[in-house]
Amino acid sequence: MGENAAPGLISELKLAVPWGHITAKAWGSLQGPPVLCLHGWLDNANSFDRLIPLLPQDFYYVAMDFGGHGLSSHYSPGVPYYQQTFVSEIRRVVAALKWNQFSILGHSFGGIVGGMFSCIFPEMVNKLILLDSPLLLLESNEVENLLTYKRRAIEHMLQVEASQEPSSVLSLKQLLQRLLKTNSHLNEECGELLLQRGTTKVATGLVLNRDQRISWPENSVDLVSRELYAHSIRKLQAHVLFINWEASKSPGLTHLLGYYGLTQLQDVVWETHHTPHHILSLLQRFQFVEIPGNHYVHMSEPQHVASIISSFLQRKHTLTA
């Protein structure tokens, strides 16, 4: 496993896909209930290195690198990175692992992808844990920006393809400084952990592994109408745990995530489920927890969330059709 192997890690996985491979890390018991762990935007599977060892080890945890992230292959030339393709990656991974039913633990963008998967394949997901992430994203808050996002996504991909510039070779210190400058919620230790899997050594330093075509998350996410949001919630069968940090209420975090996604869910439930019975039956499958910390507290202070997640995983739940 090497000197940087995470505690309790039992294997590294490399799963074949049409454009190459998807890599993943596995912890726990192969015979245990499976949990798929999905990292955030521009992060990688190391996002869960400090949290998973604190969770019940009679479960089987697989943390995957999304395509273009970590050690996973980049998409083929000309193929864009959209939320739907990330959702399809989950389906490919669980097919390769021969999982028929499993739980999802998703951080940030990983939670959004996991939430969409849970609505498209509701019979497959029995528990959904969202770390500072909404279930889905409403387009009504972003209508004025939607066309700009779509245009920017296309222009960025074409620009990267046209430039064909090789990845910059930098020192670990330079890469870490750049990472911390663009993400104030990361501390140095957690930044180094992400860079361990997010970089490759070359003769003169390090290069980032991620695909340069991946730009801003809003260029790739699917924003849904209130009608589709309400329909998706009705289709969802999983029990859902939202863990949000108190800092999520700060406008410093992107408005697409965290506290704002949670309030959207509550608003849609009250607007579209017209009887107290329907509202109660739906909301009893949702658990909301708010803790001190920031967007990366699952890495910097994993003990703050481990007991909450452990209790939720160990609770007896059945899918609700």
Find how far residue 133's CA is from the centre of its chain.
Answer: 8
Residues annotated as part of the active site: 108
Alpha carbons 248 and 117: distance in angstroms, whole number: 24
203 exposure class (CB count in 10 Å sphere: 0-12, 13-18, 19+)? exposed
183 exposure class (CB count in 10 Å sphere: 0-12, 13-18, 19+)? middle
By the 8 A CB rule, do 53 and 8 touch? yes
List CB contacts of 254: < 8 A, sequence separation 6 or more: 217, 218
Tokens of 62: 């697989």
By the 8 A CB rule, do 122 and 236 touch? yes
Helices (H), the chain: 83-97, 109-120, 143-163, 172-182, 188-198, 226-235, 259-272, 276-283, 297-300, 303-314
Helix (H) or strand (E) holding 241: strand 239-245
